[in-house]
Structure 1
Amino acid sequence: MQLYYSLTSPFARKVCVLIQELKIQDQFEMIKIDPWTNPDLRQINPLSKVPTLVLNHKEVLFDSALICEYLSTLKDKALIYPTERVEYFKSLRLQALADGAMAAVGRCYAELKKPEHLQSQDMLQRFQATQVATLIWLEQHLDNFTKNFGIGEISVACLLAYIDFRFPEQDWKIKYSQLAAWFEQVKARDSMQFTQYQV
């Protein structure tokens, strides 16, 4: 299989972390790509986004949540997704929340890269409010986290690391101390260490 990814995408990192957790690295050709400048990606993924997974039979999967679902079928799915129905949907909710917040953090970063006179203050306020509201929710719902490092927890870890990557000056760990303590533990995992963001 071929995985198209970038070292700045939190969605691609989520997939890479999962691959490490499942210990299936030997099944992949990892293709680092800039989806903004490489025209070839759109030939296989009309969205021209990472991650993009090309299967051995040449089918192509888009979207990190879909790719993670597929990858979980290559091993014992219970390693990544809870088997109990309520816990399963709580885990997917964590993933959905983290994915939405990752998109907001990324868009906020992109907006701030524009010349100041072209920045939309309304959009910046919306993206920043999304990040803050997400951190508050996570701090208040740590009981939603499972003991496993499953899809929900992987997604949240990639989000928190992405905030640190894009906005290292933020002091969210002080205000959300319980969430920060959890993050300190999981970011030491090999899967997180091997997949760190890079410019």
Structure 2
Amino acid sequence: MADMILRTSLTSPFGRKPRLAAAVLGLSGWIEVTPADTFDDNDSLRAQNPLGKVPTLVLADGSTLYDSRVILEYFDHLAGGGRIIPSEPEARFAALKLQALGDGILDAGVLRRLETLFRDEPSWSQRWLGYQSGKMNRALDVLDMAPPSDTDILVGEIAVACGLGFIDFRLGDDWRAGRSRLAGWYERFAARCPGFAETAPR
């Protein structure tokens, strides 16, 4: 029986982060993934997380943890520490910085998605969409100049991979064009990362 319940959506890139981390750390068997509807006023998610956001982790005692960064740190703690968040300061802050870049790609991508989801096309703010796309493109260019590790699977690599997967799934941007180093890294990461295919959005 699972010790924890992960409230999320199978299409959420932020929800994919802890699912992927759990697979990497060998914790998947401890976790029951339960769908949550962030738009449903009656979903118990809003009692578990006042922000009504996914992912939210429900622990065995009924207490909760959120957001994805906190949940990943908790999973690292459960796995003995230093597994996906290094203990040594220089490596730790490098991993956290890379995670912030991956999460920033996701934040901007989700804002683009919401603009087109909640407004009819004639009302879309092209200025807003361009502003968010600019953030994403600058981050992707930086990642192409210095791709993540081909050996480590840390919080940074997980966040970046989830960001790239979200672009493919929801936005359809041709982010690979002109970014062969990042595209190659993503392909190699997908092949070596436990749970990558199983956690793909669907």
Pairwise TM-score range, normalised by the shorter structure: over 0.9
| Contact kept in structure 2, 1:91 and 1:145, CA below 8 Å | no
Structure 2: distance between partners of 1:36 and 1:177: 38
2:146 alignment counterpart: 141
Query: 1:165 Cα deviation (Å)?
Result: 0.6
Residue 125 (structure 2) aligned to one of 90, 114, 120: 120
Residue 23 in structure 1 maps to residue 26 in structure 2: yes
Q: Which residue type is aligned with residue 56 of structure 1?
A: A
What is the number of equivalent residue pairs in this alignment?
A: 196
How far is 1:76 from its partner? 2.9
Give unpaired runs (5+ residues) of structure 1.
none
Query: How far does the alpha carbon of each residue in 1:9-33 deviate from its partner, in whole angstroms, 9 at most, with x for none?
Result: 1110001000111111121121012
Helix, strand or coil: the match of 2:177?
helix
Q: Is it true that 1:57 corresponds to 2:58 in the alignment?
A: no
Residue 150 of structure 2 contacts residue 189 of structure 2 at CA under 8 Å; is this kept in 1? no
- Asked if the contact 1:146/1:153 (under 8 Å) is kept, the reply is no
Paired residue for 2:78? 74
137, 160, 166: which one aligns with 1:132: 137
1:162 paired to 2:162: no
Q: Secondary structure at the match of 2:10?
A: coil
1:182-197 equivalences in 2 (<5 Å): 182-188=185-191, 189-197=193-201
One-letter code of the match for 1:23? G
Q: Is the 8 A contact 1:145 1:152 kept in 2?
A: no
Deviations 1:27-77 (A, max 9, x none): 112101221125221011100011000111221111000011011111132
Q: How much is the aligned-residue C-alpha RMSD, in angstroms?
A: 1.4
Amino acid of the structure 1 residue aligned with 2:161: A
- Match of residue 103 from structure 2: 99
What is the identity percentage for the equivalent residue pairs of Structure 1 and Structure 2? 36
Structure 2 letter corresponding to 1:122:
R
- Choose between structure 1 and 2: higher helix proportion: 1
Instruction: Please say if 1:83 is aligned against 2:87.
Output: yes
4+ residue segments displaced more than 3 Å? none
Unaligned runs of 5+ in 2: none
Once the two structures are TM-superposed, the CA of residue 117 in structure 1 deviates from its matched residue by 2.3
1:171 lines up with 2:138 in the alignment: no
CA contact (8 A) 1:139 1:179 kept: yes
Give, as a single letter, the amino acid of the residue that structure 2 aligns with 1:115: D
TM-score, structure 1 as length reference: 0.93
